[in-house]
Chain A
Amino acid sequence: MVPRIRTIIIFGVALLSVTVHEAAAARIGEIVETNPWDQIRRFITFSDRGLRLSLIGAILFGAVCGLLGSFIVVRKMALFGDAISHAVLPGVALGFLWSMSKDPVAILIGATLAGLAGSLLVGAIRRTTRIKQDAALGIVLASFFAIGLCLIRIIQNNEGASKITGLKSYLFGDVAVLDRYDVIIMGVVTISTVILFGLLYRPFLAISFDRQFAVSIGYPVRILEALFQMFLAFAIVISLQAVGVVLVSAMLITPAATAYLLVDRMHRMVWIAMGIGIVSAIIGVFLSFLGSNLPTGPFMVLSASSIFTMAYLFSPKYGRFTKWLRYRNRAKKVREENSLKSIYHVLERRGMESSGNRVLITDLSSHRKMSVTKIFKEIKNMERSGLINLEGNSVSLTDDGFEKARSVVRNHRLWELYLTNEANYASDHVHDDAEKVEHFLSEEEVSELESYLDYPQKDPHGKPIPGRASA
């Protein structure tokens, strides 16, 4: 963990020093022409300083959202994050009112205080009344948001609409209004969050997965949770200008949920969530850069959701499509092995089990209880994979196919024997179970079974258990 943190700090400081040396940057919003190709060229060549600033901002808050979002998702606090992100709005307005300008420090302090007040209020309502968590979250979310809207309108009435433009970007996000100081604050918050969670990774892991355990080994759980909520408020606040109050919770939840679909280990999930957060923030900046005067937040959220959809479909372990493929392959394997086994059974009944001996397709179809046309289609497939030879209206096993058939029959009979001898099953109850298990026994399991059963010759029904090829 420590060397990683070091590289991140170096990287972050390098980023910051680049931004600090930038001269007063032109803002994206000031660009007049919006020819998409021109814009794409500008984007790719980074010719625009304001754009560079927004991209650095996007990277910073994408990373911090992914980091905190991972903990939120595994702690099942997604809707808590949503409530807190709405609750910071009055703080933004008050911070604005205090300094009467878009002073990032005042807004940061105001919004953090409002976020913390919101989370304290949720806790207080839940503790002292019989109102449950969901309603408490709803009350805090909507009331704080309404107060914030009222304050914004009051500021607008007193100060005129021109002053409010900076404040408007807090609702739906506008990455173009980020200036150097905003980005420096984002950098400071991101780096301190990464350092904190790097140093206290284990305690945070413990309170996220097993709070009782964390208490029992003496972690200061209350303090850790307060710290977590404080940094959550920080993360929300620095993302506000880019994503907006309304959608910032999505940047917390969606990248982390995507990572949750991809991996099982928490530290990998955190890294992947940070990566996805960064990527979707950059794509969001790009898309809103194409048009003029489009809010940034919704585009970031949409790109995060698209990445989520991809993970939902194609995640190697949990994807719907990959699962379906796996299921199809397994079904094909089972069908194939059952057909091989049938051929073996037919041959065995005639006492001439070996490769090369022919079996009529009609015999096979009656043994397999399948129609001839269906069987024929399967035989075609199996011929292509080199398991059997098709000659006229009969088939024979190749050496490969014969070996496979023997091993399936061996698995089946060994398992039956194991169930009757060791698990005390009646011998007429073991067939169905063995019919399933035969396809999934591994090489090692089979040899273990053999040695455990002392290399048996006959199964419970008196049929011979075929030996291995080498034997």
Chain B
Amino acid sequence: MSLYQIFIEPWERHASAYWPILAMAFFVTAACGLVGNYLVLRRISLVGDAISHSVLPGIAIAFILTNSRSGPPMFIGALVAGVITTLIIEVLHSRTRIKQDAAIGITFSTMFAIGVILISLHGSHTDLDLDCVLFGKLDFLSSKEKIIMGLPGVALTMGMVALIVGCLIVLFYKELLVSSFDPNLAATIGISPRLVHYLLMCILSVVVVSAFTSVGAILVIAMLILPAATSYLLTDRLWVMMLFSLIHSFLSAIGGIHLAVAFKIPTAPATVVCGMIFFVAAWIFSPTHGLIRYWFRSRASVNGECIN
């Protein structure tokens, strides 16, 4: 496969097919990445993992009842499943001697198992099957959706979600910032850390549910963490970090599409692989926190000790 076929042909010949995919991939990674910053800073990244697994039975039931992949029923189903999961984790963790990590592991795997069984009992369906759970349906979105403003409906919805998430985060920037770094200070200046936490969880579940059908249940976690972790290695300021995570989302969406074209693979995992490559690059080359810098510094300090 020539470079022309990989990098230019998609945009020259099939632009109408690839623009929506790019837009969708960017909207999903951007919305996830923005929320992900706070997950990484608050050290609750794996909550995203748990939520993305455990909404599956809710989505499956909503799908089986309405037989469509339309928004509202799925969203309600997912929300109910998410709330139930949170409650079960809380009960297991606070009322028994089971630790939080095991409680999370037990609950989300059970919910996920129920979801998988429901989907496979319902028979293979083109819209929601196990492939969708694993790989996502990023590549199939342009086939039958209605086109509005040059974008298919789902991409437009995802764009709205990303925009709303962005607005909420800008609006509550101070509250999120303070409560993420110093919950005690937040409490003393009248911001309830608990309320902010629940707000964040709400935003998180909205994002996860809307990203679900395009990237699948498992890859969501990468969309949440990779942009944030990458930019966490590059800067110390929160708003710069959020900006970098947006850039990371954009670059990995583009890179993902080309990777997918080059190897004929689904776009969602390709986007994740691309995001991981950026992360590894940042890990090695970051001017402030990179491995090279780390290595030189530790060597310099050893030399310094020798001289002294």
Chain A: residues with CB nearer than 8 A to chain B? 73, 76-79, 81-82, 86, 125, 128-135, 137-139, 141-143, 145-147, 149-150, 153-154, 157, 171-172, 246-247, 249-250, 253-254, 256-257, 260-261, 291, 293-295, 297-299, 301-302, 305, 308, 312, 318, 320
Contacts and interface: CB of A to CB of B under 8 A. Distances in A.
Given A134-B44, A139-B222, A150-B263, A301 B273 contact: no
Contacts of B27: none
Chain B: interface size category: 35 or more
A147 B159 CA distance: 27
Contacts of B259: 150
A142 B218 contact: yes
A298 B228 CA distance: 32
B104 A79 contact: yes
Nearest to B118: A298
Given A149-B266, A298-B114, 16 more contacts: A78-B105, A131-B229, A134-B43, A135-B39, A142-B221, A143-B272, A146-B273, A246-B218, A247-B113, A247-B116, A254-B109, A257-B106, A260-B97, A298-B116, A302-B113, A302-B114
Nearest to B284: A128
A254 to B, nearest CB: 5
Interface of B: 39-40, 43-46, 48-49, 92, 95-99, 101-102, 104-106, 109-110, 112-114, 116-117, 120-121, 130, 134-135, 218-219, 221-222, 224-226, 228-229, 232-233, 259, 263-266, 268-270, 272-273, 275-276, 279, 283, 289, 291, 294
A311 to B, nearest CB: 9
Name the 4 nearest CB pairs between A and B, nearest first: A142-B222, A250-B109, A146-B272, A298-B113
A125 B276 CA distance: 13
Contact of B97 (A79, A153, A261, A299): A261
A420 B134 CA distance: 70
Given A130-B232, A138-B48, A305 B102 contact: no
A142 B113 contact: no
Contacts of A145: 218-219, 222, 269
Given A86-B218, A172-B130, A298-B116, A249 B96 contact: no
Contact of B96 (A79, A137, A312): A312
A150 B270 contact: yes
A178 B124 CA distance: 24
B221 A138 contact: yes
Given A76-B99, A139-B229, A305 B113 contact: yes
B92 A247 contact: no
Contacts of A257: 98, 102, 106
A157 B264 contact: yes
Nearest to A315: B96
Which residue of B40, B135, B269, B294 has the most chain A CB atoms within 10 A of its CB atom?
B269
A341 B55 CA distance: 56
A250 B106 contact: yes
B149 to A, nearest CB: 31
A377 to B, nearest CB: 31
A79 B110 contact: no
A246 B52 CA distance: 13
Given A79-B105, A86-B218, A247 B121 contact: no
A129 B233 contact: yes
A82 B110 contact: no
Contact of B46 (A128, A138, A254): A138
B121 A141 contact: no
A410 to B, nearest CB: 37
Given A247-B112, A294-B121, A312-B96, A149 B269 contact: yes
Given A134-B44, A139-B225, A297-B113, A308 B273 contact: no
Which residue of A76, A77, A153, A261 has the most chain B CB atoms within 10 A of its CB atom?
A153
Contacts of B45: 134-135, 137-138
B219 A146 contact: yes
Contact of A138 (B109, B121, B134, B224): B224
B225 A138 contact: yes
Contacts of A143: 222, 226, 272-273, 275-276, 279
A78 B104 contact: yes
Contact of B117 (A153, A157, A260, A299): A299
A81 B104 CA distance: 12
Contact of B263 (A141, A154, A312): A154
Contacts of B121: 291, 294
Nearest to A143: B276
28 contacts: A130-B289, A131-B40, A131-B229, A135-B229, A138-B46, A138-B48, A138-B225, A139-B225, A139-B226, A142-B219, A143-B272, A146-B270, A146-B273, A149-B134, A150-B270, A153-B263, A153-B265, A153-B269, A246-B134, A261-B96, A295-B130, A297-B113, A297-B116, A298-B113, A298-B117, A301-B113, A305-B109, A308-B106
Contacts of A302: 110, 113-114, 117
A39 to B, nearest CB: 16
Nearest to A250: B109
B294 to A, nearest CB: 6
A323 to B, nearest CB: 9
Contacts of B134: 149, 171, 246
A414 to B, nearest CB: 35
A271 to B, nearest CB: 19
